[in-house]
Structure 1
Amino acid sequence: MPLMQSRSRGFTLIEVLIALLILAIGLLGMVSLMMTSLQSNQNAYQRGQASLIAYDMADRLRLNRTLASGADDYLFDLTSTPPSDPGCKTTGCTTANIADIDLREWQENFQDVNGVGQDGDAYVAVLPGGAGTVQRNGRRYLITVSWTPSVNARETESDGSYACNGVVDDATDTVIAGTPDSAANARCFFQLRVDL
């Protein structure tokens, strides 16, 4: 019995090539999904760090409520010089000394303060380009932590909101109304109000 010759030569090869093409497109989609996930994870980490830093200062204000309610010792921005080291940690400290220690330790989150944490080459800022301010209006404090967002945080989310939930232009210190990419100095911020 003679063998039948198939008229569909190369058909299996075309099926394999199409399957490889579909597999390659699927793998590219998975890689894209992983990259987006990593970028979103970085933004969530930065927002979490900003929240922790702001709540840290809120707790410091509550613990030293006597001084925080009356004096301006807790008012802070990065343009101010860090308070000098009072030379005490717990025993023998006045409430003003505790405020100085609190501000020195809080400022360490944003810039290297000599004598606090890791100094010199070992210093690592908590947030990229981070900054913080503490403002007061009567018994209400406004704690603001800002940072330089990663590139993808400057893009809008699928629902139209910003990944930063607020973008401030450093040059004018105002909230940007347009897209964050319209300003090279865009920064994300986290604000916390504390009533004492």
Structure 2
Amino acid sequence: MIPRIDHQRGFSLIEAMVALLIIAVGLLGIAGMQGLAINSNATSRVRSVAALEAASMVAMMRANNAYWGTNAASASVSGGVLGGNATLVGLGTSTASCLNAVCAPAAMAASDLQRWAAGLAAQLPQGSGAVACAGAPLVCTVTVNWLEKNMALNAPTGAEAGALATATTGTFSYQTVVMP
């Protein structure tokens, strides 16, 4: 008589498929986390550039104290050019560069704003900005706006569900206040 073996050896096909399914779900989770990390990295880069652009405008304003320190000025920049609602005192319409030339304070302010606008348009997605000054002593608010892609690990809930569920991008802004 042949002895009967009660011990099973190896894996069945069902066990192998279950193990493969568990590994596949884990790999999909890792891929999702990688996508979120890449998006967060891009978001951080854009936000850092926005802060640097605002700081560069503040530095230009402080360097031109003859203009920014004495005039209540406001301007809006968009698409690499000075916006139509610019009301800089004594600014005029000059777009000459003051990088290698001696300029009057108002012309320097115009040149600085043009360079700043070009930097916003080149560095940020749909980048725009504004400088608003008022009061005595003069206080200016430098604002940088840009478009940013939204990516969330979890679906939005509650009040934000209606706004974020259909939108993939949103407008963000960075503000800094300076006394030139």
Tell me: higher relative CO, structure 1 or 2? Use CA pairs within 8 A at least 6 residues apart.
2
> Once the two structures are aligned, what percentage of the paired residues are identical?
29
Query: 1:4: how far off?
Result: 4.8
Alignment map for 1:36-115 (pairs within 5 Å): 36-72=36-72, 75-78=74-77, 79-80=83-84, 83-86=93-96, 88-111=98-121
- Larger CA deviation: 20-29 vs 180-189: 180-189
Distance in 2, Cα, partners of 1:40 & 1:69: 38
Q: Give me the TM-score of the superposition, normalised by structure 1.
A: 0.68
Distance in 2, Cα, partners of 1:63 & 1:156: 47
Taking a change above 3 Å as real, the CA distance of residues 103 and 65 of structure 1, as seen in their structure-2 partners, is same
Between structure 1 and structure 2, the one with the greater Rg is 2
Query: 1:54: how far off?
Result: 0.6
Query: 1:49: how far off?
Result: 1.3
Question: Counterpart in 2 of 1:22?
Answer: 22
Asked if 2 retains the 8 angstrom alpha-carbon contact of 1:83 and 1:104, the reply is no
Asked if 2 retains the 8 angstrom alpha-carbon contact of 1:148 and 1:187, the reply is yes
Asked if 2 retains the 8 angstrom alpha-carbon contact of 1:147 and 1:187, the reply is yes
Taking a change above 3 Å as real, the CA distance of residues 183 and 77 of structure 1, as seen in their structure-2 partners, is farther
Distance in 1, Cα, partners of 2:165 & 2:26: 34
Q: Deviations over 1:137-183 (max 9, x none)?
A: 13111011111121327x9999x9xxxxxxxxxxxxxxxxx635389
Question: Counterpart in 1 of 2:175?
Answer: 191
Count of residues in correspondence between the two structures: 163
Q: Which residues of structure 2 form unaligned runs of 5+? A: 78-82, 87-91
Question: Counterpart in 2 of 1:35?
Answer: 35
Counterpart residue identity of residue 144, structure 1: T
Distance in 1, Cα, partners of 2:94 & 2:133: 22
Question: Counterpart in 1 of 2:164?
Answer: 181
Deviation >6 Å, runs of 4+: 155-158, 182-185
Asked if 1 retains the 8 angstrom alpha-carbon contact of 2:156 and 2:164, the reply is no
